[in-house]
Chain A
Amino acid sequence: MKQMAIISGKGGTGKTTVAAAFAELAEQMIVADCDVEAPNLHLVLEHNVKADKEYVGNQTARIDTLLCTHCGRCKEVCRFEAVTEKGLFPYIDSKRCEGCAACVYACPTHAIQLYPEGTGKVFLSETRVGDFAHAELYLAADGSGKLVAEVRRLARDEARRQNKSVLIDGSPGIGCVVISTITGCQKVLVVTEPSQSGKHDLERVIKVTGHFKIPTQVIINKWDINNEVSQEIEKACTQLEVVVIGKIPFDPMVPKAIALGHPITRYDSPAATALREIWTKISPELT
């Protein structure tokens, strides 16, 4: 069972556009949307939710005011500024509380306990092109990295059951959410754009995939917006020993396809052609 993640470093480069196109072309993969904070893939994959489950991944501390002696130890030991006041008693702000249990152990009267807190909801949906695992983070919840791991687990279980590979739509950034998205994958595709910001962020994300030793390839999306920077990116990739597997031209049909809720590959357009070519190169490794 192979797993491939599509990430970007910089946001807005076209990960979901690429992921939806590949899902459509593959027709035999389990698809996962690991951008749990701002999920978009479900908007272009016609889907029916067949199962959903709450994921409880966090804990938050709560003070029992009947046992509290106002000693202030909890506030002293909390390194996340989570202990404030509500009326006469100390109060733990669950938006800041990281569930580390320092206050639980520090409290001399055992007035503080950890309680489980829901992180979000995980969904398994069916689509025309295969099963689809995705999630929604509860508003202002902590633990998006863990929610990503849940989506990965769901996708992996289905992939084993059905003997298919996994295609993952990732999120921008390089921190815990992205790390959770890429670990254990056989390959990472980085979708970048021809801008100085895109290049800067690409170099950082390649360092991260290199740190985790995951084979990485790059797609330059909307390359013709700035051919110079596009070439700078290709040079940088050569130096970093990373292959640019393809380039997609700027294509006004893409937002139109998205607006209709369809992957771009359902249409005849320059971007669709480029994506089909890239898929032909990539797909043998995934099946």
Chain B
Amino acid sequence: MRLAVLSGKGGTGKTTVAVNLALSWAPDRPTTYVDYDVEEPNGFIFLQPQISSTSTVLLPYPKINEACTLCGKCSEACQYHALAVVGGQVLVFPELCHGCGTCGIVCPVGAVEEMKRSLGQIDVEERGGVQCIQGILNEGEALSGPVIRALHYDEKRHTSQAEQVIIADCPPGSSCSVIHSAEGSDLALLVTEPTLFGLHDLKIAVRLMRELELDFGVIQNKDDGGPLIREYCIQEEITLLGSIPFDLEIAKIYSRGQSLIHEPQWAELFKTLGERIVTEVKQRKIRGK
């Protein structure tokens, strides 16, 4: 079963939910946690795994060789202005290059060679029975897409067992990074908080899930007992899978970079939440058939 944890709004508790669910399930079933927030990955702070392998994510960019006739077709075809033909040479701007290969396709004389540069890295690690995979975008780089694609590929490579649980910790926002992190999931867990901003961004996430036709449920974090999220879920006929109370103790434990399941009360909460999610996924599969 693959789950995507997302939120729309940042800081609602995606990583808290994803990490603690993973740790809660790990003793009973093969569990993999994948951190798709490649701009600011945090899961490993809580999981503190032992690094077993690191690979570099490479992005291609063009190098123009002596066969070049300065025809200008590469510059004309490049949708990103990563090539400029000026002063008897072709200037390449690797940081603008999306690695699409179009310049190589249009060059009539085969003058485009493909070089590679480092965009980020992927770490595969293990701790307490949880297989942990994270993607990290190098600081200063703009394109997270290729790192996310590489991460998906690694996720598939490392999760071929049956009875697996895969938890994808997705980035905040509603961009294609979020979409590509969440796709292929059996259920999306939308983590929200009972604030005006939280509800506003939850609505965006809900619209996105419906647009993508991805099954989803809501988890309310920092629950203050109020009706804001509950009433919205009832109105929209959205399953509220569970909630985590607003508790300064939780905030303190989180701030120290520690997982919650070492405290018996929170271990119990996540166990119950985990069971609820498994039931929900099973029920939807049956309904789907």
A residues with CB within 8 A of B: 8-13, 16, 37-38, 40, 43-44, 59, 77, 79-81, 95, 98-102, 105-106, 137, 139-140, 142, 144-145, 171-179, 193-198, 200-201, 204-205, 207-208, 211-212, 225-226, 229, 255, 258-259, 261
Complex alpha-carbon distance, A243 and B259, angstroms: 31
Contact in complex: A37, B174 (CB < 8 Å): yes
B32-45 interface bits toward A, Cβ cutoff 8 Å, 1 = contact, 0 = none: 00000001101001
* A188 vs B144: C-alpha distance when bound (angstroms): 22
Bound together, the chains give a CA A233 to CA B138 distance in angstroms of: 22
Q: Are B256 and A99 in contact (CB under 8 A)?
A: no
Type the 1/0 row for B253-275, where 1 means its CB is closer than 8 Å to any CB of A. 01111000000000000000000
In the bound complex, do residue A208 and residue B139 qualify as a contact, i.e. CB atoms below 8 Å apart?
Answer: yes
A43 touches B255 (CB 8 A): no
Which residue of A172, A177, A261 has the most chain B CB atoms within 10 A of its CB atom? A172
CB distance from B139 to the nearest CB of A (A): 4
Contact B251 A225 (CB under 8 A): yes
| Contact across chains for A100 and B257 when beta carbons are under 8 A apart | no
Closest A-chain residue to B13, C-beta based?
A12
Q: How far is the CA of A68 from the CA of B18 in the complex (A)?
A: 45
Chain B positions within 8 Å of A226 at CB level: 252, 255-256
Answer whether residue B62 sits at the interface, using C-beta atoms and an 8 A cutoff. no
* Alpha-carbon separation in the docked complex, A151 to B42 (Å): 30
Q: Are A10 and B99 in contact (CB under 8 A)?
A: no
Does B39 lie within 8 Å of A40, measured CB to CB?
no
Q: Is the CB of A100 within 8 A of B139?
A: no
Contact A172 B172 (CB under 8 A): yes
| Count of A-B residue pairs with CB < 8 Å | 175
Assess the A140–B105 pair: CB atoms within 8 A: no
Find the A residue at minimum CB distance from B212. Answer: A140
Residues of B within 8 A of A145 (CB): 142
Among candidates A140, A144, A200, A207, residue contacting B42 with C-beta atoms closer than 8 Å = A200
Q: How far is the CA of A199 from the CA of B101 in the complex (A)?
A: 38
Q: Is B30 an interface residue (CB 8 A)?
A: no
**Closest CB in chain B relative to A226 CB, distance in Å:** 4
A137 to B201, CA, bound (A): 12
Contact of B195 among A101, A175, A258 (CB under 8 A): A258
From A172, which residue of chain B is reached at the shortest CB distance?
B10
Chain B's nearest CB lies how many Å from the CB of A65? 22
In contact, B176 and A142 (Cβ under 8 angstroms): yes
CA distance A261 to B197 in the complex (A): 10
Given A196-B256, A226-B256: A137 in contact with B175 (beta carbons within 8 A): yes
Q: How far is the CB of A62 from chain B (nearest CB, A)?
A: 15
> In the complex, what residues of B have CB within 8 A of residue A99's CB?
79
Cβ of B208 within 8 Å of any chain A Cβ, yes or no, is yes
Distance in Å from the Cβ of A190 to the closest Cβ of chain B?
12
Query: Do B140 and A211 touch (CB < 8 A)?
Result: yes
Contact flag A172-B77 (CB < 8 Å), given A10-B11, A140-B212: no
Among candidates A38, A59, A198, A258, residue contacting B9 with C-beta atoms closer than 8 Å: A38
- The 8 Å CB contact of B98, one of A38, A98, A137, A259, is A98
Tell whether, in the assembled complex, residue B106 and residue A9 are in contact, meaning their CB atoms are under 8 Å apart: no
Contact B142 A175 (CB under 8 A): yes
Q: B196 to A139, Cβ gap below 8 A?
A: no
**A207 / chain B contacts, CB cutoff of 8 Å:** 139-140
Assess the A225–B252 pair: CB atoms within 8 A.
yes
Complex contact A40–B142 (CB within 8 A):
no
Residues of chain A lying within 8 A (CB to CB) of residue B12 = 11-12
Residues of A with C-beta under 8 A to B179 = 95, 140
- Determine the chain A residues whose CB is within 8 A of the CB of B254 once the complex forms: 195, 197
Would B42 and A10 count as touching, CB distance under 8 A?
yes
Contact yes or no, B79 A59, CB < 8 A:
yes
Q: How far is the CA of A200 from the CA of B177 in the complex (A)?
A: 21
Q: Determine if B175 and A177 form an interchain contact, defined as CB atoms under 8 angstroms apart.
A: yes
Which A-B residue pairs are the 10 nearest by beta carbons? A12-B11, A11-B10, A196-B257, A100-B100, A37-B173, A176-B142, A195-B255, A172-B10, A226-B255, A207-B139
